[in-house]
């Protein structure tokens, strides 16, 4: 009886607070905010739809659809890569993480950046020289097409699915708070627009949506971080001093905290972030949109600069939110504030909204509208990139290469890709609704674990190791994929939080499985390749020399365009 009344009290306490938050936005005082945000967002959508229309008229061949005809320059692609990578989960999630935990957010930022040098040194040029539309073109270059394409498609689709969930959840939360729309309507809206961009405009539209969004996001974040620093006389020390005064954790926000619970967990997360970057299908696909290996290499350099700069801004934005948002009753939920006495915990809409509220605090309603529209645009752009990567994997790898054995009619393949986009869109909407209450930054971490444990090991071994065989890649890749997924399900975040088992009962204590799943993948690839004495294995090894020469020199690489 007592338990029931406690539960109902909790429900009663939380339900009105949600209603209050929505009510406050609908109330007269914030009408202007709504309209400027909606206006700017509608402007962005109109612009991107116009681009999609333009792109659709120029998208005829498979090369146009998958790789924008190879006509993107290194600088443009650098911006587009940054656009793909600076997701709403990293913008809202990391600034939110800095807001609640301070320094811990920087650890995530660093991890998210350090994969890029590895991509430059080992992957980018080789990928461009060997592949055409998807990274599976590279992994299956000298290996058995059918098996390796299926493996790559599984790795791509599972990665894309987790990443998509995070983006959809972010979209729903944001629009719910901002426009007072229901969560599910927001998710449906994002899914719907994404399907339009990708099915009609293919890679061309997706790339330009990314570029515009990257420019908007970088300018908005620059303004916000600048405004925060301006308020503190451009003295980070003054900003940090104020933050440590108002944050309940005080000086602890200036050092690593509870986010990294144990050393193994920290290393595991680090591995996932670093090598996951080099295994994300929607990022790898970007290297086929430029004309040659040199442009591919340059584009990663630009991207690394943009992304690094952006993460530094995010850190400042998080601290800005501590000082300016958690201290201002206008951004806080009265009921939670009453209960917890913490401005940090009481933020309206949860910690992922820290950057959004900060926009209002430093730039007023108009800037709030701008940043909200940019955040929404970010989600749209990233889900489009993801959907295109997922759809390409289905149409190019599964349909074109596995089912049709490489002899698919080009128009049929594009049609399959469009249908796949629609299916993925519906799936993303459904999963977005199911996973409403997960922390978005964490979901992305899970996607990285899978990319690092399945896609990356197979890709890097296929490029550099002569001894790799089809059987080795297949068994090792699936070992990595399965162990990453199982590790995620048995980790505290899913086992205890999502599935609701008792705290501390998770069978695997690591928040991120990359440590053992990557090790399993590499060990599996090595062992089963070395033991492989089949006829296929001999062919696989014989093909290495020709592949290596092409990966180094680009001789024979897919041309920029098929026209």
Residues that bind another protein (CB under 8 A): 103, 106-107, 109-111, 113-114, 116-118, 120-122, 125, 236-237, 240-241, 244, 251-252, 254-257, 260, 262-263, 266-267, 270, 274, 294, 297-298, 300-301, 304-305, 308, 311-312, 545-546, 549, 552-555
Which residue carries 């301070």 as its tokens?
A: 102
| Cβ-based nearer residue to another protein, 103 or 501 | 103
| Cβ-based nearer residue to another protein, 125 or 532 | 125
User: What is the rounded CA–CA span in Å between residue 109 and residue 87?
Assistant: 12
Q: 377: Cβ–Cβ under 8 A, 6 or more apart, which residues?
A: 41, 44, 48, 209, 212, 213, 216, 217
- Least gap, CB of 262 to another protein (angstroms): 7
| Cβ-based nearer residue to another protein, 113 or 431 | 113
Helix, strand or coil, per DSSP, at residue 439 = coil
Which residue carries 């509220």 as its tokens?
A: 357
User: What is the rounded CA–CA span in Å between residue 30 and residue 19?
Assistant: 15
Phi, psi of 290 (to 5 degrees): -105, 165
- Least gap, CB of 110 to another protein (angstroms): 5
Whether 155 contacts 166, CB under 8 Å: no
Cα angle 168-172-177, degrees, rounded to a multiple of 5:
150
| Cβ-based nearer residue to another protein, 103 or 200 | 103
In eight-state DSSP terms, residue 559 is P
- Least gap, CB of 240 to another protein (angstroms): 5
Which residue carries 């701008």 as its tokens?
A: 370
- Least gap, CB of 558 to another protein (angstroms): 16
| Cβ-based nearer residue to another protein, 267 or 335 | 267
| Cβ-based nearer residue to another protein, 59 or 304 | 304
Whether 149 contacts 140, CB under 8 Å: yes
| Cβ-based nearer residue to another protein, 169 or 515 | 515
Whether 322 contacts 243, CB under 8 Å: yes
- Least gap, CB of 271 to another protein (angstroms): 9
- Least gap, CB of 526 to another protein (angstroms): 18
- Least gap, CB of 190 to another protein (angstroms): 30
- C-alpha distances out from residue 416 to 194, 392, 408, Å: 17, 9, 11
The residue among 121, 110, 171, 76 whose CA lies nearest residue 384 is 171
Whether 132 contacts 288, CB under 8 Å: yes
| Cβ-based nearer residue to another protein, 102 or 369 | 102
| Cβ-based nearer residue to another protein, 338 or 545 | 545
User: What is the rounded CA–CA span in Å between residue 307 and residue 312?
Assistant: 9
The residue among 8, 6, 87, 43 whose CA lies nearest residue 369 is 43
Q: 226: Cβ–Cβ under 8 A, 6 or more apart, which residues?
A: none
- Least gap, CB of 554 to another protein (angstroms): 7
| Cβ-based nearer residue to another protein, 294 or 498 | 294
- Least gap, CB of 243 to another protein (angstroms): 8
Q: Max Cα separation, the chain?
A: 76
- C-alpha distances out from residue 293 to 305, 529, 544, Å: 19, 29, 19
Whether 107 contacts 260, CB under 8 Å: yes
Which residue carries 């426009």 as its tokens?
A: 179
- Least gap, CB of 546 to another protein (angstroms): 6
| Cβ-based nearer residue to another protein, 28 or 237 | 237
């Amino acid at each position: 009886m007592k338990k029931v009344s406690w539960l109902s009290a909790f429900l009663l306490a939380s339900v009105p607070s949600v209603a209050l938050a929505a009510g406050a936005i609908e109330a007269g005082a914030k009408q202007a905010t709504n309209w400027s945000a909606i206006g700017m967002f509608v402007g962005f959508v109109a612009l991107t739809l116009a681009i999609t229309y333009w792109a659709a008229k120029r998208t005829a061949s498979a090369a146009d659809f998958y790789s924008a005809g190879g006509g993107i320059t290194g600088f443009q692609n650098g911006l587009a890569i940054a656009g793909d990578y600076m997701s709403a989960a990293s913008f809202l999630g990391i600034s939110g993480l800095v807001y609640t935990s301070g320094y811990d957010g920087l650890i995530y930022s660093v991890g998210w950046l350090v994969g890029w040098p590895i991509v430059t040194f080992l992957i980018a040029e080789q990928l461009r020289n060997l592949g055409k539309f998807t990274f599976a073109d590279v992994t299956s270059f000298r290996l058995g097409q059918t098996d390796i394409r299926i493996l790559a498609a599984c790795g791509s689709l599972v990665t894309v699915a987790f990443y998509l969930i995070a983006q959809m959840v972010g979209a729903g939360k944001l629009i719910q708070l901002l426009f007072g729309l229901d969560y599910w309507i927001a998710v449906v809206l994002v899914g719907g627009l994404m399907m339009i961009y990708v099915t009609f405009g293919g890679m061309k539209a997706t790339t330009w949506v990314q570029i515009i969004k990257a420019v908007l996001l970088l300018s908005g974040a620059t303004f916000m971080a600048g405004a925060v620093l301006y308020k503190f006389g451009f003295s980070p020390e003054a900003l940090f001093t104020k933050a440590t005064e108002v944050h309940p954790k005080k000086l602890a926000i200036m050092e690593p905290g509870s986010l990294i619970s144990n050393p193994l967990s920290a290393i595991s997360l680090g591995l996932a972030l670093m090598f996951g970057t080099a295994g994300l299908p929607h990022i790898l696909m970007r290297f086929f949109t430029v004309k040659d290996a040199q442009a591919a290499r340059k584009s990663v350099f630009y991207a690394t600069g943009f992304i690094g700069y952006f993460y530094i801004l995010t850190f400042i934005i998080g601290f800005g939110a501590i000082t300016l948002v958690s201290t201002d009753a206008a951004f806080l939920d009265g009921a939670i504030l009453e209960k917890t006495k913490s401005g940090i915990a009481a933020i309206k809409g949860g910690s992922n909204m820290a950057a959004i509220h900060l926009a209002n605090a430093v730039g007023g309603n108009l800037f709030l509208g701008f940043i909200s529209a940019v955040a929404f645009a970010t989600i749209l752009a990233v889900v489009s990139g993801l959907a295109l990567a997922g759809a390409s994997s289905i149409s190019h790898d599964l349909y074109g290469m596995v089912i049709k054995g490489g002899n698919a009619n080009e128009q049929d393949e594009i049609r399959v890709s469009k249908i796949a986009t629609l299916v993925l869109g519906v799936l993303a909407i459904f999963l977005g609704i199911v996973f409403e209450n997960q922390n978005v930054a964490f979901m992305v971490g899970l996607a990285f674990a899978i990319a690092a444990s399945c896609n990356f090991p197979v890709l890097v071994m296929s490029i550099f190791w002569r001894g790799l065989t089809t059987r080795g890649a297949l068994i090792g890749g699936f070992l990595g994929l399965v162990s990453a997924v199982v590790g995620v399900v048995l980790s505290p975040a899913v086992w205890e939080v999502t599935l609701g088992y008792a705290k501390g009962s998770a069978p695997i204590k690591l928040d991120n499985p990359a440590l053992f799943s990557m090790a399993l993948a590499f060990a599996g690839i090595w062992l089963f390749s070395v033991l492989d004495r089949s006829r296929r294995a001999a062919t696989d090894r014989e093909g290495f020399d020709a592949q290596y020469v092409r990966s180094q020199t680009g001789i024979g690489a897919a041309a920029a365009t098929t026209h």
